[in-house]
Every structure is written in C-alpha cells, then in structure tokens.
Structure 1
Amino acid sequence: MIKNIVFDLGNVLVDFDPARFVMEKTEDPQQQILLMSEIFGSVDWLRFDKGLMNRAELLVSVNSRLPEELHAVAEDLLATWYNGLNSIPQMAELPQRLKEKGLSLYILSNAPKDYYLYEDKVPSHNAFDGIFISADWKLSKPEHEIFRTFYSHFRLNPAECYFIDDSAANILAAEETGMYGFHFKRNFSILEKELARLGLL
C-alpha cells in the first residue's frame, strides 16, 4: 500500500532549463556553448549538486577554464540561475491534491544548497513532510546509498513509497532499493491515470 509520494525537483516540479538560463545572459552562440559546457555540463556542477563544492569554489574552477571576458557572466549566472526556475503548470496542484488524499509527501532531489534560496518556487512546498537534498548529505542519485539514507532518515518503508523522477536511471535505482515509481517525461495525463489506477487520486 502506497503511503508516501516522493518527488524529484528539476523537470518534475520546476522547469530546470540551463540553456535558457545561459541564453538570457548572452546572445553569442559560442559563449553559450562554453558556458553550458563549463558550468552546467561540467563535473564541477555534479560536485556542486553533491555538496562537495560550494558556489565560490565552483566559480573559481569554472573561470579557470573560461576566457576572461566570460568571468563576470559566469559569476552572474551562478548567482542568479535559480531565478529562472518556474513551476511546471500541470504539476503545480498535484502535491496538494495528493496531500488531501492523506498521503505524505517528500522531495528527493539532486540539488545544491542553493535550494534553500529558491524553495518558495517549488509548488506547494509547505505541503511536504520532508525535504532531502543531495548537497546536504554528500550523496547523489542514482547512487543506491542516497535512497537507503533517505528511507532511514524519514523512517520510511520503500515498498510504501512511490517515486516521480525525470531520469530513467534514477527510477531504476529506486526500484533496485525497493521503491517503485514513474518516469516523468512531461506526460502528466499518463501520470495522473497511473496515480488513479493505484488509488492515489
């Protein structure tokens, strides 16, 4: 019996679109490619998400690989990227609807500590019973350990949890640790039908 719904953040509850963030800072295609590659497409970004690097350290590392004329742009981008996050309209009401059905709600996301600067952008964020951010634990999906630590921290039975994530690898890892879920690809109507089939909506 499902008692808990576990949500990812990026491209599930909020629209995480780094290319758009970059395009808002520069119209030059070559600069856009560099910024995407050296910030959001870098190992450093994964370290940032995992809490192994703070924003200042990330900027130093990124700027060591970027031409000097992009240093200020990179600094601005890292200071403001989360302002470009918007709730995904069809998902905005879902947490509250599930809450009203008596389900407990959790967030399990790969996200840097910047999360606490933008948490008010998360739809119905006050309805969640628990927030589990990768940077706080120095773990990241799809590592099995992050799922096991999540269950342990909130004293959850994975068999009673249902996970909604946009990454197939994360869904597979969740299944391998006992939690089933749904691979979300902006296919809201299919998700809604599946939740209804399970008696959750």
Structure 2
Amino acid sequence: MIKNIVFDMGNVLVDFDPWRFVGEKTADPAQQKQLIDELFGSVDWLRFDKGTITKEALRSDVKERLPELLHPIADDLLDTWYLGLHPLPQMAELPRELKEKGYRIYLLSNAPEDFYLFKETVPSHEAFDGFFISSDWRLSKPEAAIYQAFFAHFQLNPAECFFIDDTAANILAAEEAGMAGFHFRKNPEKLKAALEQF
C-alpha cells in the first residue's frame, strides 16, 4: 500500500532548462554551447550537485576551461541560474492535493547547495514532509546509497513509496531499491493515471 509520494524536482516540479538560462545571457550559438559544455554539462556540475565541490571551486574550474571573454557570463550564470526555475503549471498543485488525500510528501533531488536559496520556488513546498537534497549527503541519484539513506533518514518502507523522476536511470535504481516509480516526461495526465492505480 502506497503511503508516501516522493518527487524529484528538476523537470518534474520546476522547469530546469540550462539552454534557456544560457540563451538569456548570450545570443551567440557558439558561446551558448561552450557555456553549456563547460558549466551545466560538465562533471564539475555533477560534483556541485553531489556536494563534493563548492560553488567557488566550480567557478574556478569552469573559468579555467572558458575563454576570458565568457568569464563574466559564467559568473552571472553561477550567481543567478536558479532564478530561472519556474514551477511546471500542471504539477504545481499536485503535492498539496496528494497531501490533502492523506499521503506523506517528500522531495528526493540531485541539487546543489544553492537549493536553500530557492527552496520556496518548489511548488507547494509547504506541503512537503521532508526534503532530501543530494549535496547535503554527498550522494546523488542513481547511486543505490542515496535511496537507502533517504529511506533510513525518514524511516520509510520502500514498498510504501511511489517515486516520480524525469530520468530513467533514477527510476530503475529506485525500483531496484524497492520503491515503485514513474518516469515523468512532462506528461501529467499519464502520471495522474498511474497514481490512481495505487
């Protein structure tokens, strides 16, 4: 029996679109690609998400790889990227609606230390019973350890949890950890149909 609904954040509850963030800073396609490759698409960004490097270390590493011309834009992106996160309209009320039906609501997200600067951007954030952020734990999805740490921290039975994530590998890892999952691809109607089955 499902008692707990667990949400990912990026591209499930909020629109995480690095190409849009970068496009708002420069119209030059070559510069956009460089910034995507060396910032949001880099292994350093994954380390930042995981909490194993600081923002300042990320900033330094990214600038080493970018031409000096792009350093001011990289600085601006690092300082403001999260201002571009917008709630996905068809998902904004779902956590609150599920909470009102008696489910416990959790967030399990790969997110950097900046999360606490934009926490209130998360739709229905006041309805959540707990937030589990990768950078706080030095773990990241789809590592098996993050799911085990999540269950242990909130004292949850995986068989009583339903997980919603936009990344297939994260859903597979969740299922292997004993938690049912739904691969969300901005298809809220299919998600609601899947939830009704439980």
Tell me the secondary structure at the aligned position of residue 65 of structure 2.
coil
How many pairs were matched up?
198
**Equivalence for 1:94:** 94
Q: TM-score, normalised by structure 1?
A: 0.98
**Equivalence for 1:133:** 133
**Equivalence for 2:191:** 191
Are 2:117 and 1:109 aligned? no
Are 2:85 and 1:85 aligned? yes
**Matches of 1:159 and 1:197, distance apart in 2:** 15
Q: 1:15 offset after TM fit, Å?
A: 0.3
**Matches of 1:191 and 1:28, distance apart in 2:** 37
Q: 1:186 offset after TM fit, Å?
A: 0.7
Tell me the secondary structure at the aligned position of residue 123 of structure 2.
coil
Q: Percent identity?
A: 65
**Equivalence for 1:174:** 174
Tell me the secondary structure at the aligned position of residue 37 of structure 1.
helix
What are the ranges of 5 or more consecutive residues in structure 2 without an aligned counterpart? none
Which stretches of structure 1, 4 residues or longer, exceed 4 Å deviation after superposition?
none
**Equivalence for 1:164:** 164
**Matches of 1:100 and 1:87, distance apart in 2:** 20
What are the ranges of 5 or more consecutive residues in structure 1 without an aligned counterpart? none
Counterpart amino acid of residue 194 in structure 1: A
Q: 1:196 offset after TM fit, Å?
A: 1.4
Counterpart amino acid of residue 66 in structure 1: L
Q: Deviations over 1:35-79 (max 9, x none)?
A: 000000000000000001111110000000000011111000000
Q: CA RMSD in A?
A: 0.5
Q: Which moved more, 1:130-139 or 1:185-194?
A: 185-194
Q: 1:90 offset after TM fit, Å?
A: 0.4
**Equivalence for 2:143:** 143
Q: 1:181 offset after TM fit, Å?
A: 1.0
Tell me the secondary structure at the aligned position of residue 64 of structure 1.
helix
**Matches of 2:157 and 2:194, distance apart in 1:** 21
